[in-house]
């Protein structure tokens, strides 16, 4: 991989949500272009129904969202120059793409530390030099990351998100992000339902990961509050399935003050 190709590239992305009973296709995204380079932070804002979460799930490879081939201009989805449009969610994750969910899933009976070890092994299955020979070695690595990110080590021994508070769920998800060392991370409304202290802690964790691994970050959010701690290089506004405006962090402040209604779709 050359430095020239080191970026996440979306070009002319059209996506429909598929009704699993009727197989009806409802268009959601209508030509999204986005380029994220390593270490950059991009914020995507917009009103409800604008397509923000659809974009996140499409990037992760969710089967209910289908990429439609447009009539004009080819769709591209490249990770460091490699086409991953046809790859499965597992394959995309192994290539270094990470999605933090708005509502992390609870998996009773599966300990956090065991889940993260399996996720780590799947992420680096094609890089055997990264794999730990013994479980205890991975546990030490995990405990070190938890300490660095100020995650309560007792959570590692509990079922994944089982009985966790909203803040604990998001902290453990940021820990998972650190474990997987992603090239690019999509954070889908990570600040949803969190108090100010939890938002600050999550933002600090994301920033540590960005600096440590030079991860490109896409933050999807309704509000400016997380952007006060996680400083974006670029802010994009989505409306009616398109990015209708881009700017710097001052655009987020403008949106907070004026809302989205004045923007043209």
Output the pTM of the full model.
0.92
Are residues 12 and 75 in contact, defined by beta-carbon separation less than 8 angstroms?
Answer: yes
- Residue 3: band (very low, low, confident or very high) from pLDDT cuts 50, 70, 90: low
Rounded to 10 deg, the angle between the 196-213 and 166-180 helix axes is: 0
Q: pLDDT of 76-107, one tens digit each? A: 999 999 999 999 999 999 999 999 988 888 89
Domains delineated in the chain? 3-258 (3.40.50.300)
Asked if pLDDT for residue 121 goes beyond 50, the answer is yes
Asked if pLDDT for residue 222 goes beyond 90, the answer is no
Q: Give the other-Cβ count within 10 Å of 120's Cβ.
A: 20
Distance (Å, rounded) from C-alpha 15 to C-alpha 58? 8
């Amino acid at each position: 991989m050359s430095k020239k190709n080191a970026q996440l590239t979306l070009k002319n992305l059209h996506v429909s949500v598929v009704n699993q009973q009727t197989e009806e296709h409802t268009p959601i995204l209508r030509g999204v272009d986005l380029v994220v380079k390593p270490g950059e932070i991009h914020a995507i804002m917009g009103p409800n129904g604008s397509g923000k979460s659809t974009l996140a799930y499409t990037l992760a490879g969710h089967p209910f969202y289908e990429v439609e081939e447009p009539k004009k201009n080819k769709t591209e989805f490249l990770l460091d120059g490699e086409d991953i449009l046809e790859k499965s969610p597992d394959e995309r994750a192994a290539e270094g793409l990470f999605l933090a969910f708005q509502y992390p899933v609870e998996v009773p009976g599966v300990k956090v530390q065991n889940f993260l070890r399996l996720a780590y092994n799947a992420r680096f299955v094609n890089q055997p030099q990264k794999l730990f020979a013994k479980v205890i070695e991975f546990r030490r690595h995990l405990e070190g990351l938890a300490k660095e990110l100020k995650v309560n080590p007792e959570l590692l021994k509990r079922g994944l998100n089982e009985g966790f508070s909203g803040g604990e769920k998001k902290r453990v998800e940021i820990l998972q992000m650190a474990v997987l060392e992603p090239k690019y991370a999509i954070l889908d409304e990570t600040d949803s339902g969190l108090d100010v202290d939890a938002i600050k802690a999550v933002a600090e964790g994301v920033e540590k990961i960005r600096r440590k691994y030079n991860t490109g970050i896409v933050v999807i959010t309704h509000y400016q509050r997380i952007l006060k701690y996680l400083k974006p290089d670029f802010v994009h506004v989505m409306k009616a399935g398109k990015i209708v405006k881009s700017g710097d962090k001052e655009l987020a402040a403008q949106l907070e003050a004026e809302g989205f209604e004045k923007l043209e779709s």
